[in-house]
Structure 1
């Protein structure tokens, strides 16, 4: 199996359009929000995260925003980070991972 993989496709919430799901994501994950979640995809440029409590949100922590010396978290790792951007064009929440104990037990 390849070390890198893409996250699985997200199923839309029944009865809601992708735009409605994105609007709810923005309300639940404002800039500066502290979040936890699980790594569900890895690429050389960063990791994709399923955010706790917001199952239809897809977050991305790019390697350039990771603390210096931090290794790319493995699939299934529990992480902590901060919302730094909302990417409207692809409905992604961008995170900066927390350098003090990013991998959660």
Structure 2
């Protein structure tokens, strides 16, 4: 089975995306610790659905992962920190905790 899978996409009107994005950035400020599940993988990183913020789409880029850590598998529970917000595509950027912890 190919592990490179895009996350599921739902059609949401632009005005709702904007409202949702504002709520997401407030709920997930820089430095916030988050938990979530990997819902998509590509060679450049993993997409994470963040617990407690259903409209949030987070991305863990391989360039921000601790050295020697492998890209988490689909369905894996992860713990990370918010390191940025990408306005152009409404993505929260995450860095996985460097001790390799996984969410319980």
Q: 1:4 to 1:66 in 2, by over 3 A?
A: same
Contact 1:12/1:56 (<8 A) preserved: no
1:43 aligns with 2:42: yes
Runs of 4+ in 1 over 3 A off after TM superposition: 10-13
Q: Secondary structure at the match of 2:23?
A: helix
TM-score where L is the length of structure 2: 0.92
The 2-side partners of 1:23 and 1:17 are apart by 10
Q: Secondary structure at the match of 2:24?
A: helix
Contact 1:83/1:96 (<8 A) preserved: yes
Where structure 1 has 5 or more consecutive residues not aligned to the other structure, the ranges are: none
Over the aligned positions, Cα root-mean-square deviation in angstroms equals 1.5
Q: Secondary structure at the match of 1:99?
A: coil
Figure out how many residues of one structure are paired with residues of the other and give that number: 103
Structure 1 residue 12 displacement after superposition: 4.1
Contact 1:37/1:78 (<8 A) preserved: yes
Per-residue CA deviation, residues 18-38 of structure 1 (Å, 9 max, x unaligned), is 100000001100000000000
Where structure 2 has 5 or more consecutive residues not aligned to the other structure, the ranges are: none
TM-score where L is the length of structure 1: 0.91
Q: 1:65 to 1:50 in 2, by over 3 A?
A: same
Structure 1 residue 79 displacement after superposition: 0.2
The 1-side partners of 2:11 and 2:82 are apart by 22
